[in-house]
Amino acid sequence: MTTLDRIAPARPNRLSGFAARALKRPAFLAGFAILGASLLLALFPAAIAPYDPLAFDMTAIQQGPSLAHPFGTDGFGRDVLSRVIWAYRVDMQMAFFATVFAMLIGLTTGALVGFYGGIADAIFGRVVDAVITFPFLVLVIAIVAVLGPGLVNMYVAITAVNWVYYARLTRAEIMAQKAQDYAAAARVLGYSDARIIFRHLLPNAISPVIVYWMTDMALAILLGSSLGYLGLGAQPPAAEWGVLIAEGRNFIMTAWWISLMPGIAIVVTGLGFSLLGDSLADLLRPKGR
Amino acid sequence: MSAEPILSVSGLSVRFSKPRPLAHQLLGHPRQEVRALNGIDLAVARGETLGIVGESGCGKSTLARCLAGLVTPTEGEIRFRGERLADLRGKDRRAYNRRVQLIFQDPYSSLNPRMTVGDMLSEALTVHRMRSGSGVDERIGELFELVRLPQDARDKYPHEFSGGQRQRIAIARALAVEPECLIADELVSALDVSVQAQVVNLMLDLQDRLGLTVLFVAHDLRLVRHVSHRVAVIYLGSVVEIGPSETVFSAPRHPYSQALLAAAPTLEVKEGRKTPALSGELPSPLAIPPGCPFHIRCPYAAERCRREKPALLPHGGGLAACHFAEEIAAGTQPVRKAEPQPA
């Protein structure tokens, strides 16, 4: 037998293939641009913001949008644009820290429970039931109320509830992957459980989790702002979108820009995460089978 | 076979219990069991190819998975070079898995879609410390040559290959750990006919060169005849006939083997059938009939078949599990009238 089958033409480089496909998607580009800009604002607010976000200016109180103050000023004459920009730092941190530990804990727990099943899985199922019985926000508020307000406590509270959702998602994916022949092949090759779970199953199960994480970061900003608005998250005078909205609450009829501008920032950033998450979902789907 | 068996199986049974709803448990309904394998006895000699044939659902794949250690048998034992598989733990168990490799039916799901072919092979080589350092790369090159894959396959992902190429990658992965015994579960049934011969011949060639013992599980009779030294015919989780390939194919003793062969399509024009065709469906493995499991569909079934399960006894050149094997061979066993099929 001298058959040498024709092999599919070599692709120059895997990463460039991914980038090429990504760049063809307007949704990906838009999401990427929004989050890139957000990240810049979060990293270098001092260089970008025109004013000190905490500096009072009693000569310019509650002024509407103008050239000097594009987003107007608040009740203490602070520049709203600068405060919204400085808030990127807090809110982007919130998006990341409120979700990343939940994702890591959920990923590990879900992978182990999904792989081993049995009693651990049964107990996990009851924990999930117990957690999702409560409305998310109510449970988080209850935990923050016990721990006391503040950013770190808010992260702890959100993580304590949120990991369950990641674990549930990962468990289902791992169970589906475990049923595939390549998982059985790994066992026949005598690989350890840890190698099978983390090197074989997880890379195939992780895409939906990454996508969910993106969307969840948008939700974390909303949740963090809500808690900030309620006085349970970031504390004034720190600039945080929810706190800013709460500050403008009393002047919404006369000085609408104080609440509206941070609101728009929330919407745009949330949109950025969602766009990126959705297009990643398509891009990460394995080709062929 | 005179040689000491490398792999032997005795009284192997596998039962899967069907989950019952709580209501049934409370009402005391009995637990239902799928009896996938019912007391299989087999022995494979070193360097031999044993073909295993049977209808879909007869337990072929369960047997293959049992031998590879993926399914734990309910009863019976598997011995490899005299050592019981069930007694092996830790390092020894991993060594068993290294020495007895399984190749899966579907090359589209048996390769990890997120690993390059090179990664797959180097993982197998390094985990079992088959090679180290630059030896790994060298060995991957040799394996590619062995299964006739181009060297640039190394950095590619499984989706970039055709079915036949994927199956050869799977073979290369199994061979990477230098096994003594290969179990091929429907090696080529997921492949195009044009590629089947290529993969099967590659396998036979490798067997010769590497002295492998092969269990060839398949439903394609022509293929099994082509590759096997001996053949075992399985019906509802039991071996009904086993013997040298030529004997089983040219003079089958068990009525099931006869029917199976008669049902196989051939290119030759035949002058009508000599053997009556099979009637009825394969019974559910949830409710295996008493006596001879084949009696419901057997054209020669007599009263005795309904009561007594026949043992696997020598008939002709091999073993067959039929009360009337001699009579059927001599043509003296009366054919039962076809019962009217219920509408």
The pLDDT tens digits for A25-76 are: 888 999 999 999 999 999 998 888 888 888 888 888 888 888 888 888 888 8
Range of the domain at B208: 46-70+86-250
Of the three residues B250, B285, B312, the one that is the final residue of a domain is: B250
For B:189-228, CB contacts with A below 8 A are: 198, 201-202, 205
- Please report, as a single letter, which amino acid is at residue B305: C
> Which residues are within 8 A (CB) of A140 and not within 5 positions of it... i.e. 6 or more apart?
A154, A157, A158, A161, A223, A227
> Nearest-CA residue of chain A relative to B201?
A1
Whether the CB-CB separation of B176 and B121 falls below 8 Å is answered with: yes
Length of chain B, please?
A: 343
Mean pLDDT for chain B overall: 84
A65, two tokens: 């949008």
Q: pLDDT averaged over chain A?
A: 87
The predicted pLDDT at position B339 comes to 52
B69, B108, B150 ranked by CB distance to A289: nearest: B108
d(CA A26, CA A37): 16
Tokens of A64: 């509407």
Mutate which of A3, A178, A187, A188 to disrupt the B interface (most B C-beta within 10 Å)?
Answer: A188
Residue scoring higher pLDDT (B159 or B290)? B159
ipTM for the assembly = 0.82
Residue B3 lies in a domain: no
Whole-number pLDDT of residue B272: 52
In this structure, the answer to whether residues B306 and B271 fall within a common structural domain is yes
- As given in the structure block, the two tokens for residue A111 are 């992978």
Q: What is the pLDDT of residue A6?
A: 44
Would you call A247 helix, strand, or coil by DSSP? helix
pLDDT tens-digit readout, A115-169: 998 899 999 999 999 998 988 888 999 999 999 988 899 999 999 999 999 999 9
Interface test with B, best of A189, A192, A197, A284 (most B CBs within 10 A): A189
Kindly report the number of other CB atoms within 10 A of residue A242's CB atom: 28
According to the model, what pLDDT value does residue A14 have?
53
Same domain, B193 and B316: no
Higher pLDDT: A33 or A236? It is A33
Counting residues of chain A whose pLDDT is more than 70, the rounded percentage is 93
Residue B233 within any structural domain of the chain = yes
Confidence band for A278, pLDDT divided at 50, 70 and 90? confident
Work out the angle at residue B315's Cα, subtended by the Cα atoms of residues B309 and B316, and round it to the nearest 5 degrees: 155
Instruction: Count CB atoms within 10 A of the CB of residue A280.
Output: 20
Q: Give domain status of residue B172, yes or no.
A: yes
Count Cα atoms within 13 angstroms, Cβ side, for B125.
Answer: 21
Lowest average pLDDT, out of A237-246, B15-24, B171-180, goes to B15-24
Which residue, B243, B180, B183, is CA-closest to B215?
B183
Structure tokens at A273: 């995460």
Q: Which of A147, A153, A149, A138 is nearest to A98 (CA)?
A: A153
The predicted model gives B245-269 an average pLDDT of: 80
Torsion-angle region of B289 (φ positive above 0: left; ψ -120 to 50: alpha; else: beta): beta
Confidence of residue B266 (pLDDT cuts 50, 70, 90): low
**Average pLDDT over every residue of B121-140:** 89
State how far the Cα of A191 lies from the Cα of B89, in Å rounded to an integer: 14
Bridge pairing between strands B181-185 and B5-17: unpaired
**Average pLDDT rounded to a whole number, residues B36-44:** 88
Using CB atoms within 10 Å of the CB of residue B82, give its burial: 0 to 12 exposed, 13 to 18 middle, 19+ buried. exposed
Residue/partner pairs of A16-20 with CB below 8 Å, 24 or more apart: A18/A283
Q: Does A119 touch chain B (CB under 8 A)?
A: no
For residue A51, the model assigns a pLDDT of 85
Q: Which residues of B touch A11 (CB under 8 A)?
A: 160
- The CB density around residue A2, as the number of other CB atoms within 10 Å, is 4
Q: Which two tokens mark A13?
A: 């480089």
Residue A67's Cβ-count burial label (10 Å; 0-12, 13-18, 19+) is: exposed
Q: What is the pLDDT of residue A112?
A: 95
* A79 DSSP 8-state letter: B
Q: How confident is the model at residue B293 (pLDDT cuts 50, 70, 90)?
A: confident
Return the pLDDT at B336: 67
- Residue B236: count of CB within 10 angstroms of its CB: 23
Task: Find where tokens 């000491």 sit.
Answer: B4
Can you list the domains of chain A with their CATH numbers?
Answer: 24-48+80-284 (1.10.3720.10)
Total tally of structural domains belonging to chain B: 2
A209, A268 in Cβ contact below 8 A? no
Q: Is B93 on the interface with A (CB under 8 A)?
A: yes
- pLDDT, one tens digit per residue, over A256-270 is 999 999 999 999 999
Angle between helix A118-133 and A151-178 (nearest 10): 140
User: Looking at the structure, do residues B270 and B203 belong to the same domain, yes or no?
Assistant: no
Task: Tell me what pLDDT residue B268 has.
Answer: 63
> Residue B204 falls within a domain, yes or no?
yes
Claim to verify: residue B218 and residue B267 sit in the same structural domain: no
What's the pLDDT score for residue A12? 46
Q: Which of B218, B250, B282 marks a domain boundary?
A: B250
The answer as to whether B2 is a domain residue is no
Distance from CA of A36 to the nearest CA of B (A): 28
Query: Tokens 């060169």 correspond to what residue?
Result: B209
| Residue A92 near residue A210 (C-beta atoms within 8 A) | no
B72: number of Cβ within 10 Å: 10
Chain A residues touching B148 at Cβ < 8 A: 1, 3-4
Q: Which of B97, B38, B99 is nearest to B63 (CA)?
A: B38
Q: Parallel, antiparallel, or unpaired: how do β-strands B213-217 and B49-53 relate?
A: parallel
Q: Cα–Cα distance between B137 and B115 in angstroms, integer?
A: 16
* Chain A interface includes B20 (CB < 8 A): no
Minimum distance, in Å, between the CA of residue A108 and any CA atom of chain B: 19
Give the pLDDT confidence score for residue B271 in this predicted structure.
53
Distance between CA atoms of residues A51 and A30, nearest Å:
28
Does A189 contact B109 at a Cβ distance shorter than 8 Å? Answer: no
B 132-171 residues inside an 8 A Cβ radius of A = 148, 150, 152-153, 156, 158-162, 164-165, 170
What's the CATH number where B224 sits? 3.40.50.300
Residue B14 lies inside a defined structural domain of this protein = no
Cα distances from B188 to residues A7, B91, B192, B221, in angstroms, run 20, 32, 8, 13
* Residue-level pLDDT at B231: 92
The reply to whether B126 and B235 lie within a common domain is yes
Separation CA B38–CA B294 (nearest Å):
13
Higher pLDDT, B56 or A17: B56
Mark residue A45 as left, alpha or beta (left: phi above 0; alpha: psi -120 to 50; beta: remaining).
alpha
**What pLDDT shows up at residue B337?**
57
Q: Which of B270, B225, B271, B272 is nearest to B252 (CA)?
A: B225
B129 & B186 share domain: yes
pTM for this predicted structure: 0.80
Rounded to a whole number of angstroms, the distance from the CA of A204 to the nearest CA of chain B is: 7
Which chain B residues contact residue A185 at CB under 8 A? Answer: 102, 104, 110-111, 170, 173
Chain A, chain B: beta-carbon pairs less than 8 Å apart: 97
Closest by Cβ to A187, choosing from B70, B170, B201 = B70
Indicate if B244 and B265 belong to the same structural domain. no
Residue that is last in its domain, among B216, B250, B284: B250
Asked if A3 is an interface residue toward chain B (Cβ–Cβ < 8 A), one would say: yes
Please report the pLDDT score of residue B2 as a whole number: 47
CA–CA separation, B210 and B180 (whole Å)? 8
Rg over CA atoms, chain B = 22
Record the tokens describing residue B229, joined without a space: 């030294």
Provide the pLDDT for residue B275. 57
Q: How much is the pLDDT for A7?
A: 44
* Cβ of residue A204 closer than 8 Å to a chain B Cβ: yes
From chain A, pick out residues whose CB is under 8 angstroms from the CB of B190. Answer: none
Q: Are residues B261 and B167 in the same domain?
A: no
Residue with more model confidence, B221 or B140: B140
A104, pLDDT greater than 90:
yes
Q: How far is CA A11 from the centre of its chain?
A: 33
Q: Are A276 and A28 in contact (CB under 8 A)?
A: yes
State residue B190's pLDDT score.
Answer: 80
Q: What is the pLDDT of residue B265?
A: 67
For residue A272, what pLDDT is reported?
Answer: 93
pLDDT at B3: 61
Tell me: do B130 and B52 sit in the same domain: yes
The stretch B267-281 carries a mean pLDDT of 60
B254, pLDDT greater than 50: yes
Show residues of chain B in contact with A182, CB under 8 Å.
109-113
> Choosing among B80, B110, B205, which should be mutated to test the A contact, i.e. which has the most A CBs within 10 A?
B110
Most confident of the following: A230-244, B81-95, B231-245:
B231-245
CB B224 within 8 A of CB B272: no
Same domain assignment for residues B226 and B287: no
Same domain flag for B242 and B299: no
**Whether residue B278 sits in one domain with residue B191:** no
Query: Is residue B18 in some structural domain?
Result: no
Across the interface, whether the CB atoms of B106 and A185 are under 8 A apart is answered: no
Q: What pLDDT, on a 0 to 100 scale, did the predictor assign at position A116?
A: 94
| 267-286 of A, contacting B, C-beta below 8 A | 286
Please identify among residues 10-39 of chain A the ones whose CB lies closer than 8 Å to any CB of chain B: 10-11
**Which of B220, B242, B245 is CA-nearest to residue B232?**
B242
pLDDT value at residue B296: 82
Task: Give the pLDDT band (50/70/90) at residue B270.
Answer: low
Q: Does residue B180 form part of some domain?
A: yes
Structure tokens at B304: 């005795």
pLDDT score of A5 more than 60: no
